[in-house]
Amino acid sequence: MKYLLTLCLGLLSGAAMFTAAMIYNPFVADRGISPMAVTDSELIVLSFSNVPSDAIVFTNDGNSQKKPFPEKVLQLWEASIRKSSAMATVMRDARGRTAGLGVKFSSDSERTRLLHGEALVDSVWYLYLPERGSLFIEQFENHWTFFRDVGLPAYQSGAKNWKGNWIGDLTAGPEALGTAVVTGGTGALKGLEMLAVESLSARAYSAEDGPIAAEGRLLIELPPASGDVETAAPDE
């Protein structure tokens, strides 16, 4: 009997050691510098609040950490869309002015491999920038480092929240350098094929309510000589 108890204790210890090693695996690190940070091309820089209550509308299955907003919005409770979220939000340019509207659909990805430090989310953006045109962005995001550096410390803290300064790229593909694929739909952007990166800057996070102070940013790299789109320098 005591051997059986010892074996069970060993099993639990082993599983706990494995989980700790997986979370703090030094080989799973940030990907370092964003490819957009070293580009010579012109960029469209768009920012948006990543806090659900700052969006025009945010919805999911209603049981997730992020709460739907406004309260009476239709929730995505059906089996096919239960692991998805939808958001419509105002996009701002580098000077903080309204640049257009963005709609983002996200779904947990079946390619998620926690063993490899990949907590993947398949997402698409639709952006409409008045007088410039529309864009479609296809990407998958890796939320692993955000979970490890922000989410987990929030769960572990007594107050169930985290405060600090976390900045990182969420986009992890599908392009080879970990960038998203952008397709121009209408206006000056029509027919253009571009690359983009979505990044996140978090300052406060609650284990119960999700992001409290967080801003997202989309950097869209324009192809050379792509016309008269208002742009920002890479370092702006």
Partner 1 sequence: MLKTFIVGILLGVAGAAAALYLYPVVDQHREASIVSVGPNGRNIESFHVNVPMDRILVGAHGNNNPLPAGMKWPKDEVLQDVRVELFKIRNARDTVVGVAARTAAKEGSDDVIDWVLHLPARGSVFVNMQAEALEGGYRKGELRAGSREFGQLGGVMTERWVPDTSGDEDAPSGRIELVTTFVGSPEAI
The verdict on 164 binding partner 1 (CB under 8 A) reads: no
Largest CA distance in the chain: 78
**In the complex, least distance from residue 33 CB atom to partner 1, rounded to whole angstroms:** 26
Piece of the chain touching partner 1 by CB under 8 A; list 32-40, 181-189, 217-225, 226-234: 181-189
The verdict on 181 binding partner 1 (CB under 8 A) reads: yes
Contact pattern from residue 29 through residue 58 relative to partner 1, giving x for each residue in contact according to CB under 8 A and a dash for the rest: ---------------------------xx-
The verdict on 167 binding partner 1 (CB under 8 A) reads: no
Q: For the residues of the chain, what is the DSSP string, one character each?
A: -HHHHHHHHHHHHHHHHHHHHHHT-TTS----S-GGGG--S-EEEEEEE-SGGGSSEEES-SSSSSPPBSTTSPP--SGGGTTEEEEEEEEE-TTS-EEEEEEEEEEE-TT-BGGGTB-EEEEEEEEEETTTEEEEEEEEEE-HHHIIIIIHHHHHSTTSEEEEEEEEE-EEESSTTS-EEEEE-SGGGTT-EEEEEEEEEEEEEETTTEEEEEEEEEEEEPPTT--S---B-TT-
First and final C-alpha spacing in the chain: 67
The verdict on 228 binding partner 1 (CB under 8 A) reads: no
- Of the candidate residues 25, 28, 126, 147, the single one contacting partner 1 (CB under 8 A): 126
- Of the candidate residues 31, 67, 82, 203, the single one contacting partner 1 (CB under 8 A): 82
Which one, 65 or 161, has the nearer CB to partner 1? 65
The verdict on 152 binding partner 1 (CB under 8 A) reads: no
The verdict on 147 binding partner 1 (CB under 8 A) reads: no
Binders of partner 1: how many residues, by CB under 8 A? 65
Q: Which residues of the chain form contacts with partner 1 (CB under 8 A)?
A: 2-3, 6-19, 22, 56-57, 59, 70-74, 76, 78-84, 86, 88, 90, 98-101, 103, 105, 107-110, 112-115, 122, 124, 126, 128, 130-131, 133-134, 136, 138, 181, 183, 185-187
